[in-house]
Structure 1
Amino acid sequence: MSLKLKITLGVTVGLMLILFISFTFAYYMFIRVTTKGEADLLKEKARSLLLKDLPNHPEYWKDNSQMEELLIPQEMLRYIGPDSKVIYQIFSDETLIRYPVTYVNKDTITVETASDGIYVFVKMPVFKEGHQIATLEIGRSLRRLGQYADMLISVLLLTSTGTLILALIGGYFYTNVLFRPLQDFVGTMQNIEQSGSFRHINLPAKATNDELVILGATFNRMIDRLQDMFQKQEQFVADASHELRTPLTIIESYASLLRRWAFHDEKLREEALEAIISESAQLKQLTQNLLSLTDRDNCEQEVAFDLLPLARQTAASLRITSGREIKVQLASDWQELLMMGDSYKIKQLLIILLDNALKYSQQKIVMYIDLTDDNWVILKVIDQGIGIAESEIPHLFDRFYRSDKARNRKQGGVGLGLAIALHIVQKHKGTIELQSRLGEGTTVIVKLPVNCQ
């Protein structure tokens, strides 16, 4: 069963229940209010008769003319003794006297429903010298009310049937209109599945708050992201293939050279072995970098560590290996700066940023550390090197991207450093930003939360 048909039937069944409850309540209130009104009239009439002092005036019953003038059509008067026997009675509707005679000692109202109508009986005790001696009963046939009730039931049934038919027809056409965008969604998705190409769902030109329009807009944004990721994946595969092919080609060439000529030429043999070792190391580094980019766990190795000695040790190690001046500058005189995260990854991040600064500048490098009032660690790596063109900054975090003027294979690396740095920062739920101008240097700004949870 389709969702459209389920909704149509569900709405119809719900409407049927609402109509049944509403019409039942309306019918019940109609009968209740009408019979209560009739009963109140009969009670008033009974009180009027009791004022005639019926126990001391039995002639009223013997001379029916005095009592019959109080009767209306479809009515009955009975005077009942303590033994539940009728002493006197007059009536204008024989159907009323078929109902049982009962002797009561308090005001009683009884409503009887039969196939030929509704009957109301009012009984009131008759007293003489403070003692009850009889019961006065007045009954009335509400046959006309029964007819009205039957007519009301017919009208309600006819109205319910018409309403349900209209609900079915209207619901079917309305769900057609309502589900048309969903049908477009399904058609577009099936088209994407069959063709393998990315497509957008057509949306109305005027933006609305309609949930289906919002769903369509969300779907289109998802398609855009998938298309972008797919294109990046294709570019990544192409770039990775290129980066892998270069060292493999060199290794293969020198291996062939070794096999043909280098066994008898020591100098050639040393050159070939050096090239093979160098390209193997490059290949190993590339593989490690690619594996780093596939790590998707957020704060997997989260521990508390002191950032200050980690930064100082990293700067000292690179200062020794490079022979360059690297200064760690603190915004305040802290003794320690504790934060939560993966200390190994943070160290890798610092190495990447400092290594880049060392490659593309010859002046002093400054690592600036600050802590904001809302517990964010600010790391800045500042160099005075060749800088980066403003148009190239948005692409620097792309995998395998190198600036034509600065990032090239001769200086080492494969264009994955900043991509890995971005990945580490995102794992720690932080941000990274580059500020640079050609010929003036580059500043990398990293913001990391003290607690990455």
Structure 2
Amino acid sequence: MKLGTKIQLYTTVMIVIVVICINLFVYFVYQKVSLDSEATQLESRGINIMKELQNTSDTDVNTEAVLQSYLLSDGYITVVNQKNKSVVQISTDIKYKNLAELYKNEQYKKVVDKNGNHFAMVSLPIIWKNGEVSNLQIFENIDFKYETFAILKWILIVSTFIILIVIFLLNRIITQIILKPINELIEQMNKTRETKHYSKIDINNNDTKELKELSNTFNDMMLNLKDHDEKQQAFILNASHELKTPITVMTSYSEMLKRFGKTRPDLLDEGIDTINEEAKRLKYLTEQMLDLAKIERTFHDIKFSKVDIVAQVSILTKKLSQVYKRKINVHTTEDVLIGKINKDSFDQLITIFLDNAYKYSQSEIDLALINKVEHIEIKIKDYGPGIREEDIEKIFTRFYRIDKARSRQSGGSGLGLSIAKELASKNQIDIQVKSKEGTGTEFILKVRKV
């Protein structure tokens, strides 16, 4: 169902329900007030009759004449004794005979239906001529009131249908006005889709706040998709280039071995060694790309825990110093520093920076742990050739290498720091880089404290 149809349908139904409820309320309230008013007026008349009868009780005035004088234009008056017999009956219509209610020793008023007519009725206790307590009962025909109620009912029904039609038409017009800019926005989006380009849509200053936010969100999405697509294309091109080199070398040496391997032992050894090295490099590059894909795929599945950073780094550096056959100095004044990290990805992150320091310098590696107010600072410093200032912003780009020849000699793939950036982002760790050519590079990691 279209949004416009939903708005029109829901709004119309809700308003009609409200109108029907209001009409029912008006009808029944008016009916009750009208009937109560008639009964109250009748009660006042009965009280006046009762007073008149009391005033004439000591005279010879005919009580029936008094009752006759108070008879309504269309009604019935009777006096009912305790034996439920009508002592006196006065009516304007013979069919009103025997309307009397049973004797009750109390005053009350109500609306009754008798013989197909509607009556307002009041009953008052009085002392009759013989000294017996009886009921003075007065009935007034109020059929005209019910005719008014019927007219009111039809007026409300007709008005409800008229309101329904008016509301439906107004809803249609209002819905079209509201949805017009949305439809225009959809049309612009469709045009953007048909062009197969990541084009932004124009934002109309006259649009509502919601539409402007929707347009801005769409434009941001287009920019993100464009950036993601460009990165994917660049990744494919760079990966193809990186994979092409070892494959080309392996192919060339395998062809050479096919020709001269049997007659040239020196070429045989050289070819086998080269193919073996390139195969290892190809394996390493593939593993790096798989790691990068795995990190991106499991970005939302990471679980954090409280870890002693001092102990974790000490264990890791002790293990890596034996692997590298090089000393890694750990400097800290704290015995315990608790951070909130993902232990596995944190180890991988520190390993990348230590491995980077190992590859690009021949000196010892310094690692410092510093307790700051809001975070734990980890500084990893090497004393290698350093990085040019203009290259610092690019070192986290995939496959970017400052010196390709030196990187190839060290076995670098250009993916290590890119993976490190993803791992740091997963652990909500900020990275800063300080470097100067000829003096070395320092990576500063800011870990969240608990």
1:285 aligns with 2:287: no
Is the CA contact (8 Å cut-off) linking 1:327 and 1:366 kept in structure 2? yes
In 1, Cα distance between the equivalents of 2:93 and 2:440?
A: 114
Alignment match, 1:297: 298
**Could you tell me which amino acid in structure 2 is paired with residue 396 of structure 1?**
I
**Could you tell me which amino acid in structure 2 is paired with residue 269 of structure 1?**
L
**Could you tell me which amino acid in structure 1 is paired with residue 122 of structure 2?**
V
Alignment match, 1:165: 165
Alignment match, 1:398: 397
In 2, Cα distance between the equivalents of 1:17 and 1:363?
A: 83
Q: Secondary structure in 1 aligned to 2:120?
A: strand
Q: Secondary structure in 2 aligned to 1:104?
A: coil
Is the CA contact (8 Å cut-off) linking 2:334 and 2:371 kept in structure 1? no
In 2, Cα distance between the equivalents of 1:181 and 1:239?
A: 44
Q: Secondary structure in 2 aligned to 1:433?
A: strand
In 2, Cα distance between the equivalents of 1:39 and 1:134?
A: 20
Distance 1:131 1:237, change over 3 A: farther
In 2, Cα distance between the equivalents of 1:17 and 1:29?
A: 18
In 1, Cα distance between the equivalents of 2:58 and 2:189?
A: 96
**Could you tell me which amino acid in structure 2 is paired with residue 220 of structure 1?**
N
Is the CA contact (8 Å cut-off) linking 2:435 and 2:441 kept in structure 1? yes
Residue among 301, 310, 313 paired with 1:311: 313
In 2, Cα distance between the equivalents of 1:55 and 1:434?
A: 118
Alignment match, 1:430: 429
Distance 1:57 1:96, change over 3 A: farther
Aligned residue runs from structure 1 range 44-443, under 5 A: 44-51=44-51, 52-53=53-54, 59-63=61-65, 66-92=66-92, 97=97, 99=99, 101-112=101-112, 118-127=118-127, 132-184=132-184, 186-187=186-187, 196-205=196-205, 209-210=209-210, 212-295=211-294, 296-297=297-298, 307-308=309-310, 310-312=312-314, 314-315=316-317, 326-330=328-332, 332-334=333-335, 336-337=336-337, 343-360=343-360, 365-372=365-372, 376-383=375-382, 385-403=384-402, 408-436=407-435, 441-443=440-442
Is the CA contact (8 Å cut-off) linking 2:128 and 2:134 kept in structure 1? no
In 2, Cα distance between the equivalents of 1:90 and 1:79?
A: 9
Deviations 1:374-420 (A, max 9, x none): 5x443221345544444443432221122369974344312101111
The structural deviation recorded for 1:280 is: 1.1
Q: Secondary structure in 1 aligned to 2:274?
A: helix
Is the CA contact (8 Å cut-off) linking 2:16 and 2:164 kept in structure 1? yes
Is the CA contact (8 Å cut-off) linking 1:96 and 1:141 kept in structure 2? no
The structural deviation recorded for 1:9 is: 1.9
Deviations 1:83-133 (A, max 9, x none): 434332334566755745443322121213699975311111223599753
Distance 1:261 1:179, change over 3 A: same
The structural deviation recorded for 1:293 is: 0.9
1:445 aligns with 2:447: no
The structural deviation recorded for 1:148 is: 3.6
Alignment match, 1:8: 8
In 2, Cα distance between the equivalents of 1:280 and 1:405?
A: 19
The structural deviation recorded for 1:287 is: 0.8
Distance 1:55 1:231, change over 3 A: farther
Distance 1:280 1:135, change over 3 A: same
Is the CA contact (8 Å cut-off) linking 1:82 and 1:134 kept in structure 2? yes
Q: Secondary structure in 2 aligned to 1:293?
A: helix
TM-score, with normalisation over the residues of structure 2?
0.83
**Could you tell me which amino acid in structure 1 is paired with residue 329 of structure 2?**
K
Is the CA contact (8 Å cut-off) linking 2:327 and 2:364 kept in structure 1? yes
Aligned residue runs from structure 1 range 15-30, under 5 A: 15-30=15-30
The structural deviation recorded for 1:365 is: 3.8
In 1, Cα distance between the equivalents of 2:339 and 2:254?
A: 49
In 2, Cα distance between the equivalents of 1:446 and 1:355?
A: 15
Is the CA contact (8 Å cut-off) linking 1:365 and 1:382 kept in structure 2? yes
In 2, Cα distance between the equivalents of 1:24 and 1:58?
A: 53
The structural deviation recorded for 1:285 is: 0.7
* Runs (5+) with no aligned partner, structure 2: none
The structural deviation recorded for 1:318 is: 5.5
The structural deviation recorded for 1:27 is: 1.2
Q: Secondary structure in 1 aligned to 2:34?
A: helix
**Could you tell me which amino acid in structure 2 is paired with residue 381 of structure 1?**
I
Q: Secondary structure in 1 aligned to 2:412?
A: coil
Is the CA contact (8 Å cut-off) linking 2:80 and 2:136 kept in structure 1? yes
* Runs (5+) with no aligned partner, structure 1: none
Is the CA contact (8 Å cut-off) linking 1:86 and 1:101 kept in structure 2? no
In 2, Cα distance between the equivalents of 1:174 and 1:150?
A: 35
The structural deviation recorded for 1:368 is: 1.3
Distance 1:441 1:158, change over 3 A: farther
Is the CA contact (8 Å cut-off) linking 1:106 and 1:124 kept in structure 2? yes
Q: Secondary structure in 2 aligned to 1:205?
A: coil
The structural deviation recorded for 1:13 is: 1.7
Between the two proteins, what is the percent identity of the paired residues? 27
Is the CA contact (8 Å cut-off) linking 1:85 and 1:101 kept in structure 2? no
Q: Secondary structure in 2 aligned to 1:443?
A: strand
Please, what is the CA RMSD of the aligned residues? 3.6
Is the CA contact (8 Å cut-off) linking 1:432 and 1:445 kept in structure 2? yes
In 2, Cα distance between the equivalents of 1:405 and 1:245?
A: 15
Is the CA contact (8 Å cut-off) linking 1:79 and 1:89 kept in structure 2? yes
Distance 1:68 1:406, change over 3 A: farther
Q: Secondary structure in 2 aligned to 1:105?
A: coil
In 1, Cα distance between the equivalents of 2:382 and 2:241?
A: 31
